């Protein structure tokens, strides 16, 4: 900060070595510092005034209940809103949503309020008579949701219990469970008006319905299991019969080709050990070829002169083999005689 004022004096050798030398903080009332820089360059207080700090501390103090529930109890937005309002929280006007969410919260709260008042009232019938159609409808809707949730929970529990024993028939079991649960759900709906009179009766009714649903599911499951076992037994029997027939057929084919009983058993055994029909066919063809070759060779052997005994006649040999000397000798002997 420069000034155009003319300097009167030049300062030199400024020293703080003597007693009482200092630098002083000075005030506005005194006229501020002589250097003319009557301001702080930096105030290291993060720039928040006392008022600002106070205001922001108030934010902490006035943390809204839904926000509190969400942050510290991990609740969903809508749940925290409903619970907060149930506890008496009134949202500030600025927080009211623009669209129908307000109506939705009101509706939810209304049904809870009705349930609560019915629960607390001494004469339920009288209390019921006092609620209007909309309240009653809201109450029923909530009740349907609650009962559905219970039924679903129950079904899931049963399903998990029976899954170990019914792994093979999973699809059919699931179908059975679904079918058997639905009727119980409709039963629950029908019994809503009966549920209303007293709280204890209500609880008992729900328990009875849940038990009957469980029994029906179990029965259906047992029936399905029995059917499945029967089907499996018949399939096994059919398989055994088919296998036997195949073995018989193969044995017949082999024995028709191989006549020799000594080697028949071994060849049949070898043939049956072949798993695929193609292998068996090839084996059979080979056996047939071998058999026909053997037959042909036997015929050849029988007909061939090489394998026939050919004896020589002594008379012919003598005749043909007499030499001239022998014949002369025979002639002389004959003359002598």
Q: Name the residues that contact other proteins, by CB under 8 A.
A: 1-3, 5-18, 20-46, 48-50, 53, 56-57, 59-60, 63-64, 67, 71, 95
Q: Shortest distance, CB of residue 34 to other proteins, whole angstroms?
A: 5
Total Cβ atoms within 10 A of residue 224: 16
Handedness of CA 257, 262, 268, 273 (dihedral sign): negative
Say if residues 205 and 191 touch (Cβ distance below 8 Å). yes
Token representation of residue 310? 């050919």
Q: Of the two residues 2 and 323, which places its CB atom closer to other proteins in the complex?
A: 2
Nearer to other proteins, 24 or 334 (CB): 24
Nearer to other proteins, 32 or 197 (CB): 32
Q: Which is nearer to other proteins, 5 or 314 (CB)?
A: 5
- DSSP 3-state of 323: coil
Identity of the residue, 11 or 333, whose beta carbon is nearer to other proteins in the bound complex: 11
Contact 233, 240 (CB under 8 A): no
Q: Please, what is the minimum distance in Å from the beta carbon of residue 228 to other proteins? A: 58
Minimum distance of other proteins from residue 75's CB (angstroms): 14
Map tokens 């902490």 to a residue.
Answer: 60
Q: How far is the CB of 127 from other proteins (least distance, A)?
A: 38
Measured from the CB atom, is 26 or 270 closer to other proteins? 26
The least distance separating other proteins from the CB of residue 136, rounded to whole angstroms, comes to: 35
CA gap 270, 318 in Å, rounded? 61
- Indicate the SS3 state at residue 8: coil
**Residue the block writes with tokens 């019969």:** 241
Nearer to other proteins, 45 or 321 (CB): 45
183 phi, psi to nearest 5 deg: -55, -40
Residues 6 or more apart whose Cβ sits within 8 Å of residue 113? none
For 275, residues 6+ apart whose C-beta sits below 8 A from its C-beta are none
Long-range contacts of 325-333 (CB under 8 A, 24+ apart): none
Choice between 29 and 120, CB closer to other proteins: 29
| Rounded-to-integer distance, Cα 188 and Cα 205, Å | 9
User: Is the separation of the CB atoms in 162 and 191 below 8 Å?
Assistant: no
Shortest Cβ distance from residue 107 to other proteins (Å)?
A: 23
DSSP conformational letter for 301: H
Q: Nearer Cβ to other proteins, position 58 or 314? A: 58
* Inter-residue contact 38 to 28 (CB < 8 Å): yes
Tell the smallest beta-carbon distance from residue 77 to other proteins (Å): 10
Residue 102 beta carbon to other proteins: minimum distance, rounded to whole angstroms: 16
Other CB atoms within a 10 A radius of the CB of residue 101 amount to 13
| CB 18 to other proteins: min, Å | 6
């Amino acid at each position: 900060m420069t000034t155009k004022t003319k300097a009167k004096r030049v300062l030199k050798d400024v020293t703080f070595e003597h007693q009482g030398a200092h630098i002083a903080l000075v005030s506005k009332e005194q006229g501020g510092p002589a250097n003319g820089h009557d301001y702080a360059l930096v105030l290291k207080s993060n720039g928040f005034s006392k008022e600002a700090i106070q205001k922001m501390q108030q934010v902490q103090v006035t943390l809204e209940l839904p926000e509190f529930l969400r942050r510290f109890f991990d609740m969903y937005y809508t749940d925290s809103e409903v619970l907060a309002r149930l506890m008496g929280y009134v949202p500030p006007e600025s927080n009211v949503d623009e669209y129908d969410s307000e109506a939705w919260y009101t509706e939810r709260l209304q049904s809870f309020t009705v349930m609560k008042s019915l629960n607390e009232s001494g004469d339920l019938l009288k209390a019921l008579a006092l609620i209007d159609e909309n309240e009653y409808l809201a109450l029923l809707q909530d009740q349907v949701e609650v009962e559905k949730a219970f039924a679903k929970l129950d079904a899931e529990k049963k399903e998990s219990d029976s899954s170990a024993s019914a792994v093979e028939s999973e699809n059919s079991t699931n179908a059975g469970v679904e079918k058997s649960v639905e009727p119980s759900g409709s039963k629950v709906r029908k019994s809503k008006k009966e549920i209303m009179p007293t709280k204890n009766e209500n609880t008992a009714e729900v328990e009875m319905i849940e038990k009957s649903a469980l029994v029906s599911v179990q029965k259906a499951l047992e029936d399905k299991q029995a059917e499945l076992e029967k089907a499996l037994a018949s399939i096994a029997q059919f398989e055994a019969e088919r296998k036997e027939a195949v073995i018989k057929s193969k044995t017949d084919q082999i024995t028709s080709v191989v006549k020799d009983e000594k080697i028949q058993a071994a060849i049949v055994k070898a043939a049956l050990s072949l798993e695929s029909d193609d292998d068996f066919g090839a084996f059979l063809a080979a056996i047939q070829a071998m058999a026909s070759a053997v037959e042909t060779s036997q015929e050849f052997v029988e007909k061939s002169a090489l394998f026939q005994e050919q004896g020589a006649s002594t008379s012919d040999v003598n005749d043909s083999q007499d030499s001239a000397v022998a014949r002369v000798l025979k002639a002389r002997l004959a003359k002598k005689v």
